[in-house]
Structure formats: C-alpha cells, structure tokens
Amino acid sequence: MEKNIPTNKKIEAFTVGNDTHYDMFLARFDVLGSLAHIKMLKKIGLLQQDEYPALQKALKNIYQQILDGQFSISEKVEDIHSMVEWLLTQELGDTGKKIHAGRSRNDQVLVDLHLMYRDEIKILVELIDALFALLLKLAEHHKEKLLPGYTHLQAAMPSSFGLWFSAFAENLVDDLRVWKAAFDMVDQNPLGSGAGYGTSLPLDRTLTTELLGFKALAFNVVHAQMGRGRSELFLSYALSATANNLAKMAMDICLYNSQNFAFIKLDDAFTTGSSIMPHKKNPDVFELVRAKCNVIAQLPGVLAGAFGYLPSGYHRDFQLLKEQVFPAIHEMKSCLEIVTLALQNITIKENLLDDEKYQLIFSVEVVNQLVNQGVPFRDAYQKVAQEITSGNFQAPKNIHHTHEGSIGNLCLSEINAKFLEVRKTFDFSYVQKMESLISG
C-alpha cells in the first residue's frame, strides 16, 4: 500500500495475519515510545519549536483514547505504528510525517515490546509477591500438621503441610531470579537502532533511554536488533520456571484432594460437579492450571526451535513471536491469580498419620533413633527391616527433626529474607518516568 503496489488480498491477509489484534496490546507503549522520540527529535533540531507541541498534544490525545477503549487499528493500515502515524498526518499534515525520522518500524516494534514486557514483568512479580506471602502464611499456620511424604508415589517418610507449602514458596525465590534476568534483558533501550544498522541522523539515544526509564542502552545497533527473539526467549525461561512450579503444585493438589488421598479439601467454588454423578467434586480449576502451565513450560523449546536458527538481521518470522508470548503472559497472570485465590480457601485435614496404613513411613525415624544410640547405620537398617517383615514394627509417637529446612525447623524467616533480597533488585522506578512523559 505504502509503495503504491496493489497487493493480492489473500497475500495481504496471510502476511498481516493476527498482527493487528496483538498490536492493540502494544498501542499505548507505541505512543510512549513516540513521545520520547519526538522530544529527542526536537533536541537535535529535526522538529521545529512549534511542531513539537502539536505532535505531543496529538500523541497524548491518542494515548487517552487507548486508555478509554476508543482506539482501534483501521483495516486501511498494516499495524499500530502505521495507524499512529496516519492519525498524526491526518491531523497535522507534514508535521505528522516527521515522526518517523530516525526510526525503522523494526526498532519501533522493539521498543514497544521492551516497554510492554517490562510492564508485564512488574505485574507478574507483584502476583508472585502475593502468592509467596500466602504460601509462607499457610506454612506457618499448618506447620504442626503432618502428612505423608512420597517417593515413586509410594508413602515414604513423614512430611508436613508447613514443609509442603514453604517448598513452593522457596521455589518462587528461584523463579524470581529468572524473572530478574528477563527484566534486565528488556530493560535496555533499542530505540535508534533503526533497521539494525543505525542511521546517519544525529540521534541522541541516551536521551530516549532516560526519558523511557530504561536502565541501560542497547549500544550496538546489531545487538539491539538481535534482541528480537532473544528478549522473548529470556522471558520464556521465566514463564517456564514459574509454570513448572505451579504445574507441580496443581498436580499435588489434584492428588491430595482426591478421595484416595484426602489430605486437603478444596472449596466448592473451585470445583465442578458431574452431569451424571451427583457426588463428584472435580478439581477443574487446578487441572486447568496444570494444563495451562504445562503448555507454557514448553515455550522456550518452541521459541528456540522456531526462531533460534535465523541469521542476524530482521526476518518476518519474528511477527509470530507475539502469538506465542502474549497469550502465555496472559495465562500466567491468570494462573497466579486463581492459585492465590484458591489457596486462601483450602481446608487442611489433620491427624493424617494416625491412619494405620502410614505407620511404616516412620521406619527411618526408628533407624535414626538406633543410630543416635551408637548402632551402625547398616545394622540399624537391617534390624528395622526385620521388624517390618515379622510384623513387629512399632511406629514412634513423636518425631524430632531439628536441622535447617526440616519439619521442625522450616526456616521460614530465612526463606522470606532470601525472597526479599532478590525482590529488592527489581527497579520499577521507570513507572515515574512514564508518568512524567505523559504529564510533561
């Protein structure tokens, strides 16, 4: 269309695909990037003093339309970037056409994505905050309540709900480290890299970095361009880490909620009934969390396989990244929210280990008692094994675990401190920069 070459409608539909749908997620970030860009163009003399206020005002109006849900991408244009420029040109004539100076659509997409991913990571980290705090609270509240620990899906040793809840909490600390790496990756400014090879215009990339609140500048323009695909790959590692954590938790909950285990009971609001079996209460919420997260966990492989073997430089393949990553971000936010809500309403069963079928899981306790009395471990093991075989094994009434991270010493404050140490490394001060860009 821009080159006045008629395009076959089928080819156009194929190449555009779902891009305009996903571009709506980028709309407000595209305007923010443009506000920073025109301020820089004014500084280097590519916008006249009377042109800048008109462009700034028009962009702010578009931004407000986006926030109010009154903005859409016309079928006459290809993407969000063309739409914004078309609106500016319609309103301001030649002044609107100047906004693209020093930019390629490639670095415009890149900065939009970096701004969006940075914002989404902030939201996801805040959701992880809430889940982590809840898990530690549940661990503290239920720390005295024992449950069977399993290996090979066989009842193995005593565990506790405190140990179980806090294990997933400490997993979130590890997840947060991966999220920090993803955040650092996208907290770099690619604007000004053009099509990946820079420009002869005297751009001030340091200024746009400051205006957009980026921590760093992606200096090398080819490196900046290669962020397309790599940013999503880093983000997918973080999504996959938390997805793996939630999927495992959901699997446990589905098992523990079943009649054969009956360790916990989900609130009826988080279960569904059967169409023909009136007694059934199915854990559909956690089954869906499990499925959604297992799909998300595959994302790094999908991205590495689909986009990892391209040479440097831009390729249209990258357009499909949005279709893989945007829904995964949405699903992860949804899963974190619903898991946190469901766990607030969970019921824990007490005195589980009083059941006769769990008596043998105390065998290691008896072995350790003998070891503490000076009996060599192998001899103690054989003695207890013989008692079990002969039916003379007597389970102890109490267990005594004291080492760090065990049933009797959960180290919840230490886990919390570790989480906070990682959490404080996230710098979300860019929010103030964004606000000043709109209000200034």
Q: Could you give the residue numbers annotated as active site?
A: 152, 274
Q: Where are the alpha helices (DSSP H) in 158-283?
A: 161-186, 205-211, 221-225, 227-257
Q: In sequence order, what DSSP letters do the residues of 43-100 get, joined into one string?
A: HTTSS-TTHHHHHHHHHHHHHHHHHTT-----TTSSSHHHHHHHHHHHHHTHHHHGGG
User: What DSSP letter does each residue of 344-359 carry, written as one string?
Assistant: TT-EE---GGGSGGGG
Instruction: Compute the distance between CA of residue 263 and CA of residue 58 in angstroms, rounded to an integer.
Output: 60
Residue 261 C-alpha from the chain's centroid: 31
Q: Which helix (H) or strand (E) segment is 325 a member of?
A: helix 321-343
Q: Give 265's strand partners.
A: 347
Q: Tokens 């340091």, residue?
A: 206
- For residues 198 and 184, the answer to whether their CB atoms sit within 8 Å is no
DSSP string, 307-318: HTTPPSS--GGG
